[in-house]
Amino acid sequence: MNVKHLVFLDEVGHLGTVFVPAKIACRLSRIHWAISTSATWGDLAGKVDAEILKEIVENGERKSFEDFCSVWLYPSLTWPLDVSTDWFRSCVEAYRRLPAAERYPLPHEICTAAESMSDGTWPEWPPSLVFDWMPEPIWSEFADVEHCLYDYSFPKFDPGKRDAVCERLEETGFNCFRNHLLVQASCGTSIRLLGADGVLTEIERTEARVRLAAD
């Protein structure tokens, strides 16, 4: 099975039937799950990869610890061990003293990542991503393009036409499966409402399925 063509679907309230590629559903669900279940930034860092963490905290002015040390990091390999150890300790102390607006949040600090989602532009929103991956003849035939908050437009699929859409997708090589938890979670439905443990289990199960399909 081509992992790029593994698509999940579910009915999401006023949005109609939402179609989400499996890899995107896993990524977005993990972001929503991690943010909703993390008390500190250290908790969050243990639940998402470094690139996602960077997406959350990067604002063009903050410097990561790696960047902060980068000028001296490679040359330090030529230094005596005690000198490089002292230098690294000094870097840690200096980074901690930086103003909060100039550095990444420290692991013990309260996680405020939910604020990154307040303007509706991050993370991506599955209904509007349909334009990027679904063949235009399919969404233009079966969906009405609607507009909502944050200047999003998206193709709204009537649940009554779900089977017809799936049939057309499968004719072009897609594989469609119903997946309530991942579709709902990837669209931003409350993780606590869905059940955090169940969402995580489904994320991990599907990530394994995606890896297997990619091999």
**pLDDT above 60: residue 116:** yes
User: Higher model confidence: residue 58 or residue 133?
Assistant: 133
**136-184: per-residue pLDDT in tens?**
999 999 999 998 766 789 999 999 999 999 999 999 999 999 999 999 9
Of 43, 12, 48, 46, which Cα lies nearest the Cα of 28? Answer: 48
pTM beyond 0.85, yes or no = yes
Tokens at 186, concatenated: 């990837």
